[in-house]
C-alpha cells in the first residue's frame, strides 16, 4: 500500500511539473532552440508569432473573383481553377506576401486575402500583373514568351526509359505562333540546352532530344509531383489559365481586429474561470481534476495549432476553440456523474474510477464523434471562415477526447491512492457502506 501511495504521488508530481513546464514554455517560448511562445494573450500587440491570425483579426485586403469556364467543354475546369490559384499564390509570394492566402470559394470562385495591406488598387494590380516567362537559345537570346504557352500539366513519366521510375514530366501545349517558333528552334538546337526563364531567373534548362514541331511536348526529370506541379504553374504564369471577374473587394481595419482579438481572448479566460469554479463547487476534488485537465487541454490545443502548418486563427476559429472547451468539460461531467453513482453504491474510490470511466466511455465517444463528423463536413465542404471554424473545432474535440480519456483518468486513478480519502471529498448524498473486497 505504501509503495502504491509513493508511486501515485510521484506520478502526480511529475505530471504537475510537466504541466507547469509546458505552460511556461507556451508563455515565454525557448528562443535558444527556436521554439516560439504559442499561448494567446489579451494584448493584441504581443500576440504570439506562432499563431497566425486571419484577415478579420489582423487587418488587410481581401478580393473575391469568379472564374469563367472555358468555351471548349474538354478542359478540366477544376484543374484549371487550381492552377489559377497556384499562379496567384506564386505571384504574391514572389512579391513578398508569403502570408497571403488563396482559397477556393464555392464551385467557381477564388478568395484572396493579403494581411497588412490597405491599398486595394495595388492589390488588384499585383494579382493581375503577368509574370515574364521567356524561352531562350543556348546563347541567351529570347525567341518566345509565355503568352504562347496554352497549357502546362504535370504527369507521371511513362516513357519506360531507364531511371524514369517514380519521376514526373510536364506536358505543355503551345498556340499556333508558338508552335512554329518552337518547332524551328528545337530543330536547330537538337542536343543542346534551351533555357526557360521566369522574370529573368532560370526556371529550367532542358536538353532538346528531338525537334518538337506539333506544338506539344514534354519536359522530363522532375523528382516529385509537387515539383512538377509547381514548375508547371510557373510555366503558365505568363497569363492566368482562366478569365477572372472581380466580384468583391474590401479592407478590414487592423484596429477592429485587435479589439475583437483582445475581447475574444478575455471572454474565453473569463469563461474558463467560471467553469473551473462551478466544477470545483459541484464535484469537489474531481472539480480540481477537471480544472487541471482543462489547463493541459488549452496548452496542448494551441501547441498543435502552432505545429500544424496552414492554420490561421479567425474569429470563427476562436469560437470553435471556445466551443471545444465546453466539449471538454461536458466529457468530464459525464465521467464524474458515473463515478459518483459508483461511489454512492458503496464501491471503493479506485473501483469507482474504473467503473465510472467504463460506463461513461460510450456517451463520451458518441458525443465527440458526432461533433467530429460535423467538423469534418465543415472542413471539406466549407470555405473561408466556415472552414476555419471546422478546423479548430475538430482539433478542439480531438484534444478534449485525449484529456478526458487519458489525462483525467490518469490524475483520478493516482489521486485516489495518495491517501485514504473520505467519499465526501468527491461526492455528496447518501453513501452505502463500502463493499468488502471491491
- The larger pLDDT score, comparing residue 310 to residue 412, is at 412
18-53 pLDDT, tens digit per residue, is 999 999 999 988 888 888 888 988 887 788 888 888
Greatest alpha-carbon span in the chain: 99
Binning pLDDT at 50, 70 and 90, where does residue 405 land?
A: confident
Closest CA to 116 of 130, 129, 106, 101: 101
Q: Are 389 and 320 a contacting pair, CB within 8 Å?
A: yes
Binning pLDDT at 50, 70 and 90, where does residue 436 land?
A: very low
Binning pLDDT at 50, 70 and 90, where does residue 437 land?
A: very low
84-98 pLDDT, tens digit per residue, is 888 788 777 766 676
Cell numbers 484543374 correspond to: 79
Which cell numbers in the block locate residue 75?
478542359
CATH fold, domain 2-51+253-425, is: Multidrug efflux transporter AcrB transmembrane fold (1.20.1640)
Over residues 347-353, mean pLDDT: 88
Angle between helices 77-94 and 225-235 (to 10 degrees): 80
From the CB of residue 183, how many other CB atoms can be counted at a distance below 10 Å?
17
- Which pLDDT belongs to residue 330? 86
φ/ψ of residue 55, rounded to 5? -65, -35
CATH (one of 3.50.50.60, 3.10.50.40, 3.30.70.3400, 3.40.50.1460) for 55-130+244-252: 3.30.70.3400
- Which pLDDT belongs to residue 129? 58
Show me where the domains of the chain are located: 2-51+253-425, 55-130+244-252, 133-236
Q: Are 239 and 87 a contacting pair, CB within 8 Å?
A: no
φ/ψ of residue 224, rounded to 5? -145, 165
CATH number of the domain located at residue range(s) 133-236 in this protein:
3.30.1360.200
**Percent helix, percent strand, percent coil in the chain, to nearest 5:** 55, 15, 25
- Which pLDDT belongs to residue 373? 93
Q: Are 110 and 64 a contacting pair, CB within 8 Å?
A: yes
274-332 pLDDT, tens digit per residue, is 989 999 998 889 999 999 999 999 999 999 988 887 777 888 888 888 888 888 888 88
Closest CA to 428 of 341, 323, 305, 367: 341
- Which pLDDT belongs to residue 55? 77
- The larger pLDDT score, comparing residue 99 to residue 412, is at 412
Over residues 339-358, mean pLDDT: 88
Binning pLDDT at 50, 70 and 90, where does residue 160 land?
A: confident
Q: Is the pLDDT score of 131 beyond 70?
A: no
Report the chain's mean pLDDT, rounded to a whole number: 83
Q: Is the pLDDT score of 241 beyond 80?
A: no
Distance CA(114)–CA(59), nearest Å, equals 9
Q: Are 100 and 127 a contacting pair, CB within 8 Å?
A: no
Amino acid at each position: 500500500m505504501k509503495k502504491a501511495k509513493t508511486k501515485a504521488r510521484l506520478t502526480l508530481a511529475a505530471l504537475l511539473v510537466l504541466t507547469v513546464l509546458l505552460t511556461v514554455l507556451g508563455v515565454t517560448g525557448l528562443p535558444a532552440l527556436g521554439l516560439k511562445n504559442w499561448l494567446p494573450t489579451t494584448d493584441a500587440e504581443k500576440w504570439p508569432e506562432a499563431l497566425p491570425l486571419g484577415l478579420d483579426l489582423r487587418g488587410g485586403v481581401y478580393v473575391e473573383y469568379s472564374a469563367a469556364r472555358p468555351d471548349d467543354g474538354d478542359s478540366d475546369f477544376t484543374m484549371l481553377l487550381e492552377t489559377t490559384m497556384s499562379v496567384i499564390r506564386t505571384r504574391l509570394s514572389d512579391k513578398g506576401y508569403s502570408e497571403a492566402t488563396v482559397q477556393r470559394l464555392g464551385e467557381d470562385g477564388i478568395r484572396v486575402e493579403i494581411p497588412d495591406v490597405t491599398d486595394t488598387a495595388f492589390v488588384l494590380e499585383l494579382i493581375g500583373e503577368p509574370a515574364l516567362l521567356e524561352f531562350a537559345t543556348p546563347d541567351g537570346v529570347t525567341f518566345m514568351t509565355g503568352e504562347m504557352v496554352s497549357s502546362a500539366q504535370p504527369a507521371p513519366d511513362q516513357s519506360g526509359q531507364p531511371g524514369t521510375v517514380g519521376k514526373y514530366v510536364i506536358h505543355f501545349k503551345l498556340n499556333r505562333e508558338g508552335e512554329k517558333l518552337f518547332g524551328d528552334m528545337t530543330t536547330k538546337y537538337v542536343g543542346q540546352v534551351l533555357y526557360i526563364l521566369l522574370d529573368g531567373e532560370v526556371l529550367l534548362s532542358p536538353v532538346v532530344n528531338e525537334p518538337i514541331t506539333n506544338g506539344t511536348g514534354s519536359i522530363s526529370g522532375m523528382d516529385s509531383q509537387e515539383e512538377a506541379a509547381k514548375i508547371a504553374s510557373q510555366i503558365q504564369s505568363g497569363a492566368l489559365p482562366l478569365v477572372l471577374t472581380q466580384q468583391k473587394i474590401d479592407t478590414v481595419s487592423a484596429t477592429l481586429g485587435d479589439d475583437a482579438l483582445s475581447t475574444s481572448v478575455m471572454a474565453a479566460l473569463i469563461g474558463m474561470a467560471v467553469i473551473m469554479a462551478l466544477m470545483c463547487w459541484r464535484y469537489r476534488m474531481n472539480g480540481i481534476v477537471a480544472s487541471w485537465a482543462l489547463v493541459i487541454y488549452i496548452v496542448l490545443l494551441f501547441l498543435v495549432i502552432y505545429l500544424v502548418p496552414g492554420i490561421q486563427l479567425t474569429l470563427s476559429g476562436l469560437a470553435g476553440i471556445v466551443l471545444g472547451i465546453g466539449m471538454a468539460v461536458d466529457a468530464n461531467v459525464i465521467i464524474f456523474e458515473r463515478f459518483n453513482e459508483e461511489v454512492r453504491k458503496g464501491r471503493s474510490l479506485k473501483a469507482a474510477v474504473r467503473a465510472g470511466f467504463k460506463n461513461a466511455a460510450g456517451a463520451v465517444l458518441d458525443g465527440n464523434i458526432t461533433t467530429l463528423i460535423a467538423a469534418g463536413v465543415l472542413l471539406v465542404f466549407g470555405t473561408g471562415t466556415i472552414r476555419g471554424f471546422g478546423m479548430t473545432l475538430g482539433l478542439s474535440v480531438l484534444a478534449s477526447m485525449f484529456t478526458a480519456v487519458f489525462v483525467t483518468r490518469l490524475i483520478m486513478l493516482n489521486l485516489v491512492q495518495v491517501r485514504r480519502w473520505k467519499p465526501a471529498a468527491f461526492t455528496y448524498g447518501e453513501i452505502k457502506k463500502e463493499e468488502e473486497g471491491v
